[in-house]
Structure 1
Amino acid sequence: MRKMIFGALAALSAVALSLPANAQEEKECDLDVDFAVHVGYQGSFLKDFTAYPGATRSLHSGVRVGVDADFEVYEYKGFEFGVRPGVFFSQKGEAYTKTADKALSYNLNYLDIPVTLRVSREVADDLDVIANFGPYIGIGLYGKNGTGSSSKEKHDSFGKDGELRRIDSGLNASLGLRYDDFLLTVGGQYGFVNQLKDTKTLTGSPKNVNFFVMVGYEF
């Protein structure tokens, strides 16, 4: 009886030890991760900002440059699904035409951290269409607010005496093409956070809104 018990235990042990090896042979864990660098143009304005009603608004132009990673999660009937986090240096703000002796402008520099869901599909040889959608967090690095003709009147918009909040968040969406390893992306952001913290001299509930066009390379 004892021999039978020891024999059964030995057989079960052999089966248990062989399961991980068999499972590893049947299904290999291969995480597909791609990295990309991007650079391009960004146009922006502060939605619902009524601080200077006498001034005529104009689009603020800046740059957008950064890196992101693409983690492929699932593939179904030719569609690939993934998660794409990134880090971007993003120039936002708002510009105004000159009124009287004042030259008004907001030049805001952010660190944007988007985390988007990615859906892509191959439409031709080495040509994919890519769509991204998800939230982002923006951290104000430094911003200059010029409210006069003299540069001495400029100050850090996010600083102690600044009128704008340092933290921003909202939605990020983009549509792009990937040919071989080259990328072309068109997209935009819509901020949900009221950026105004100084309501004594300024009015409105400004929110960051911007669009961008970027080229990139994936490796």
Structure 2
Amino acid sequence: MKKILLLIAVMAASFLTANAQENLKWGVAAGMNVSKMSATGLDTKIGYHVGVRAELGLPQVANGLYLDAAALLSSKGAKTDMGDLGSQKINANYLEIPIHIGYKYAVNDNFSVFGSFGPYFGYGLFGTTKVEELDYDDDYELIKTSSKYDTFGNDGLKRFDCGLGFNIGVEIKKTYRVSLGYDFGLTETYKSKFDAGDENYEELDLGSGAKNRNLTISVAYMF
């Protein structure tokens, strides 16, 4: 009996491996991020993403169904304009791994439309936050003070991030892809909250439940 079960397991593993090799595609992807954080007073920032992706077709489940995953270097963040007080630009670079389930519909042999949905997981690698403060001296001359600090430092952002995202797009000749996506972060980004009584932040709700939001425009080449 054990030999029969072992034989069945080996045959099943061989089938899955062969099926995966037959339906697995690899590619490279790059594009633009339009990111911000879900907090009052934070504006969008332009960034980028670049990396590799893989697609595993699941015809044994349903025609057109597939599993999509990627490993991306993704530049996110936000900008803050505090008026007479100055400004702040948050640059945060993550290693992101989105894992989506998707469906592709072939309009003809050379053109398909697709959509996918699933979670993403991110880890903050590096980043610099630039702060420009404005003040006036005794002669009412404007003084600008600039400083930089580690985005993921002690009072900065948490390194771990995760959320949900979706993509829609088109595929040409089963090789070229153009897609539009959006990611909703589910984890709060800041390690600590700012003092609501601080006059520099009285109009900003920074750190109070701020989560990443990211619109993506991407192109990919699948081998």
- Tell me by how many angstroms 1:105 deviates: 1.2
Residues 189 and 207 of structure 2 are in contact (CA less than 8 Å); yes or no, is this contact kept in structure 1? no
CA shift digits 1:158-180 (9 cap, x unpaired): 12x23211100000210111101
Task: Output the TM-score relative to the length of structure 1.
Answer: 0.77
What's the C-alpha RMSD, in Å, of the aligned pairs? 2.6
Question: Are 1:187 and 2:181 matched, yes or no?
Answer: yes
Structure with max Cα Rg: 1
Question: Are 1:167 and 2:187 matched, yes or no?
Answer: no
List, as ranges, runs of 4+ consecutive aligned residues in structure 1 with deviation greater than 4 Å. 149-152
Distance in 1, Cα, partners of 2:103 & 2:78:
32
Q: Tell me the secondary structure at the aligned position of residue 89 of structure 2.
A: strand
Distance in 2, Cα, partners of 1:209 & 1:115:
17
CA shift digits 1:68-100 (9 cap, x unpaired): 1111122577x4112111101111111133622
Residues 75 and 81 of structure 1 are in contact (CA less than 8 Å); yes or no, is this contact kept in structure 2? no
Question: Are 1:63 and 2:48 matched, yes or no?
Answer: yes
Question: Are 1:210 and 2:214 matched, yes or no?
Answer: yes
Aligned residues: 190
Residue 12 of structure 1 aligns with which residue?
none
CA shift digits 1:95-151 (9 cap, x unpaired): 133622522111111111111112111012211111111001011111222222578
Q: Tell me the secondary structure at the aligned position of residue 205 of structure 1.
A: coil
Please give the residue correspondences for 1:89-104 in structure 2 after superposition, counting only pairs within 5 Å: 89-97=73-81, 99-104=83-88
Please give the residue correspondences for 1:50-129 in structure 2 after superposition, counting only pairs within 5 Å: 50=40, 57-74=42-59, 79-97=63-81, 99-129=83-113
- Tell me by how many angstroms 1:67 deviates: 1.0
Residues 72 and 83 of structure 1 are in contact (CA less than 8 Å); yes or no, is this contact kept in structure 2? yes
Distance in 2, Cα, partners of 1:108 & 1:69:
25
Residue 31 of structure 2 aligns with which residue?
40
Residues 155 and 162 of structure 1 are in contact (CA less than 8 Å); yes or no, is this contact kept in structure 2? no
The AA in structure 2 aligned to 1:210 is N
Runs of 5+ consecutive residues of structure 1 not aligned to the other structure: 1-15
The AA in structure 1 aligned to 2:156 is E
CA pair 84-203 structure 1, distance change in 2 beyond 3 A: closer
CA pair 43-124 structure 1, distance change in 2 beyond 3 A: same
Distance in 2, Cα, partners of 1:217 & 1:203:
38
Give the fraction of aligned pairs with identical amino acids, expressed as a percent: 26
Task: Output the TM-score relative to the length of structure 2.
Answer: 0.76
Distance in 1, Cα, partners of 2:80 & 2:152:
20
Distance in 2, Cα, partners of 1:111 & 1:203:
22
Residues 94 and 105 of structure 1 are in contact (CA less than 8 Å); yes or no, is this contact kept in structure 2? yes
CA pair 76-111 structure 1, distance change in 2 beyond 3 A: closer
